[in-house]
């Protein structure tokens, strides 16, 4: 069967005009908070010499992935909230599908790597700096990217080869595997199983690894002092909150047969926009080192600005004192 669909039309989150207006302002605010918070995390870590541990290296990478991941879907959602026809070309849809899954899967892997980093730091502190050196951290980040690329490539190739002959109405706000499989004019049972194996099992296996690693970390608290226990628990609590907010919606969407529910759109909002927006707040509010680093950078910038303004005023006074007064 030939593919004669040149574009798809999104139904969006709602057909109600008032709800669409609310979505426009709400998600515009969310996206601005998301971009500002994650850029602030990256700048703080890059400009603070004391935040040079592997944990902060991975955190800055997570913030970068969050920016990229949300930028695949959020701007289109915001623009479509003001549009009467929410259309996207066939090529644009496949591109969005590819980048959505490459960044989403990379985030899953980086969260797993961050859990391993916390496990080594808390359970094997004497071997931490030798185990998690710069070379190992770089290899882990590259592996996350490669894993995300392979996953997304498989997902996109499976979808782009399906015959789409109409209808072209997607009951979603972005191009994803399950809504597209529903529109394909062929039996998608086998493809649906591959999607579950490719997306669902990756999410489930990483989630099990994460839960297992944090259980081991929590059990190790028995041998620690109360101060060390509180510090380690505070760090792990931030990771656990992020893992729950990101993985539970992903498991709901991808760990099931190729079916779609009306709730899928709202669930997808959590892992594409809400969680990336909350990540900077969760990590900074519960991390004194990051908060102190942000305060120091803010104070340094204020001091530089005050010195610059004072210098400009002194130069202005000096120039005024040497200019002859005409009589």
If you write DSSP's letter for every residue of 135-163 in order, what string do you get? Answer: HHHHHHHHHHHHHHHHHHHHHHHHHHTS-
Report the C-alpha gap between 33 and 20 in whole angstroms. 20
What integer pLDDT is reported at residue 310 of this predicted model?
64
State how far the Cα of 54 lies from the Cα of 131, in Å rounded to an integer.
10
For 89-101, b/e burial (b = at least 16 CB within 10 A) is ebeebbebbbbbb
- The residues with which 9 forms a beta bridge, in sequence order, are 87, 169
Tokens read off for 123:
């359970």
This prediction has a pTM of 0.86
- pLDDT value for 119: 87
Domains in the chain (CATH in brackets) are 7-288 (1.20.1070.10)
**pLDDT computed for residue 295 by the predictor:** 78
Which residues in the chain come in under a pLDDT of 50? 327
Q: For position 1, what pLDDT does the model report? A: 52
Q: What is the pLDDT of residue 263?
A: 82
- pLDDT of the residue at 327: 43
């Amino acid at each position: 069967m030939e593919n004669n669909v040149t574009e798809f039309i999104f139904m969006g989150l709602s057909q109600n005009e008032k709800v669409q207006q609310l979505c426009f302002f709400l998600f515009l605010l969310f996206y601005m908070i998301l971009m500002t918070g994650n850029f602030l995390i990256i700048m703080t870590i890059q400009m603070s010499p004391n935040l040079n541990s592997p944990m902060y290296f991975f955190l800055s990478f997570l913030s970068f992935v969050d920016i990229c991941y949300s930028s695949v879907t959020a701007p289109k959602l915001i623009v479509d909230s003001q549009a009467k026809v929410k259309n996207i070309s066939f090529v644009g849809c496949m591109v969005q599908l590819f980048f959505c899954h490459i960044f989403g899967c990379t985030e899953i892997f980086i969260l797993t790597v961050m859990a391993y980093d916390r496990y080594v730091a808390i359970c094997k502190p004497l071997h931490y700096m030798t185990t998690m050196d710069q070379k190992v951290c770089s290899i882990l980040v590259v592996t996350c990217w490669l894993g995300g690329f392979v996953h997304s490539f498989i997902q996109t190739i499976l979808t782009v080869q399906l015959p789409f002959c109409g209808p072209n109405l997607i009951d979603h706000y972005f191009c994803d595997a399950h809504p597209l499989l529903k529109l394909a004019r062929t039996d998608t049972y086998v493809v649906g199983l591959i999607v579950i194996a490719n997306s669902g099992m990756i999410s489930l296996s990483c989630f099990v690894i994460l839960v297992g690693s944090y259980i081991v970390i929590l059990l190790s608290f028995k041998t620690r002092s109360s101060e060390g226990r509180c510090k380690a628990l505070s760090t792990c609590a931030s990771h656990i909150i992020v893992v729950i907010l990101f993985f539970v919606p992903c498991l709901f969407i991808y760990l099931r047969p190729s079916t779609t529910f009306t709730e899928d759109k709202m669930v997808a909002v959590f892992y594409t926009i809400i969680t990336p927006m909350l990540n900077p707040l969760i990590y900074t509010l519960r991390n004194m080192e990051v908060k102190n680093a942000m305060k120091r950078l803010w104070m340094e910038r204020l001091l530089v600005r005050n010195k610059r303004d004072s210098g400009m005023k002194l130069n202005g006074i000096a120039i005024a004192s040497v200019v002859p007064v005409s009589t």
